[in-house]
Amino acid sequence: MSVLSVKNVTKTYNRSGKPALSHVSLTVQKGECVGIVGESGSGKSTLAKCVLGLYDTDLGMIDRPKKLQAVFQNPSSSLNPKLRIMDSVLEALEGQHHMNPSYLAKTGNDRRNIGEYLLDLVQLPGELLDRYPHQLSGGQKQRISIARAISIEPDLIVLDEPTASLDVSVQANVLNLFKDLQDEFSLSYLFISHDLAAVNFMSQQIGVMKDGELLEVFPQKKLFSEERHHYTKELLHVFRS
Ligand SMILES: Nc1ncnc2c1ncn2[C@@H]1O[C@H](COP(=O)(O)OP(=O)(O)OP(=O)(O)O)[C@@H](O)[C@H]1O
């Protein structure tokens, strides 16, 4: 079952310029992580924003699920500095009242119970609920963003460079968390990154973008295969050296 279908999407920012996305098609199946790798300016963020419905497209079609969430690069700008963590972590759930996640059977409708349950899923202690974002580390803040994203049991989460602003030592922990959550809840991700090693670690399918085009999409196991596009081989060369 597919949770996202992007068909022939083209997006140009200014009419005379060249497209930031050109005839891009891809699908994400339930429980699968599709990783999109490309260098700066290749169109990855534009793709993420089109998928999220933040930008209109010029051409093509996007069939997205209703329960859609995102985790962005910078957790500091994703969390309201004036809200306690408790209020941020419950923001998605409380903003969409028709959501009825399965864990409510365990937690009841008690805010603190729900907050503690969600923090536990991202391996944070419940006592952080009473703090403000500035009292947390970058990695902790990103875990709060992740807890908020998974709180509505979304059909798809778009991850747009979710570890790029974190210390290198923390990046692997956060990627491991995404993987554990994917295994536990059959989550589906569209994972966007300039980091081929991260994409290789996370994804079951890999897509390579360059100059607004999705050059190829292939199973992760085929990354080192001879049939890869020559540009993918160039990226691999950098990755190995
Ligand atoms: N708001 C905008 N207005 C005009 N042009 C834009 C805008 N956002 C992106 N672009 C252009 O669209 C192209 C694709 O940019 P995009 O940000 O999607 O790439 P990216 O792969 O995500 O790069 P990065 O990793 O640097 O963010 C680039 O040429 C960029 O300059």
Q: Where are the domains of the chain?
A: 1-65+155-241, 82-152
| pLDDT at residue 119, as a whole number | 98
Any ligand 1 atom below 6 A from CB of 54: no
Percentage, residues of the chain above pLDDT 90: 88
Predicted confidence at residue 241, as pLDDT, reads: 66
Q: Whose CA is nearest to atom 29 of ligand 1?
A: 41
- How would DSSP label each residue in 42-53? SSHHHHHHHHTT
Pocket lining: 46 vs ligand 1, CB cutoff 6 Å: yes
Give me the percent of the chain exceeding a pLDDT of 70: 99
In CATH, which of 3.40.50.300, 3.40.50.12280, 3.90.105.10, 3.20.20.10 is domain 1-65+155-241? Answer: 3.40.50.300
* Dihedral sign, Cα of residue 154, residue 155, residue 158, residue 162: positive
Length of the chain: 241
| The pairing of beta strand 68-71 with beta strand 156-160 | parallel
Put simply, whether the predicted model's pTM sits higher than 0.90 gets the answer yes
For residues 78 and 155, the model is more confident at 155
- Bridge partner list, 33: 189
- pLDDT at 238 (0 to 100): 81
Q: How far is the CA of 194 from the centre of ligand 1 (A)?
A: 13
Average pLDDT over residues 58-82: 95
> How far apart are the CA of 224 and the centre of ligand 1, in A?
28
pLDDT-derived band at 85, boundaries 50, 70, 90: very high
pLDDT above 80 (res 16): no
Taking only the tens place, the pLDDT of each residue in 104-122 is 888 888 999 999 999 999 9
For residue 98, the model assigns a pLDDT of 78
ipTM above 0.90 for this complex: yes
Ligand 1, atom 12: closest residue by C-alpha: 20
CB 57 near ligand 1, within 6 Å: no
Query: Residue 118: CB partners within 8 Å, gap ≥ 6?
Result: 89, 90, 147, 148, 150, 151
pLDDT of residue 17: 84
Note the pLDDT of residue 76.
87
DSSP state of 30: T
Residue 27 burial by Cβ neighbours in a 10 Å radius (0-12, 13-18, 19+): middle
Cα of 109 vs centre of ligand 1, distance in Å, is: 42
The per-residue pLDDT for range 191-228, each reduced to its tens digit, is 999 999 999 999 999 999 999 999 999 999 999 999 99
Q: How far apart are CA 237 and CA 241, in angstroms?
A: 6
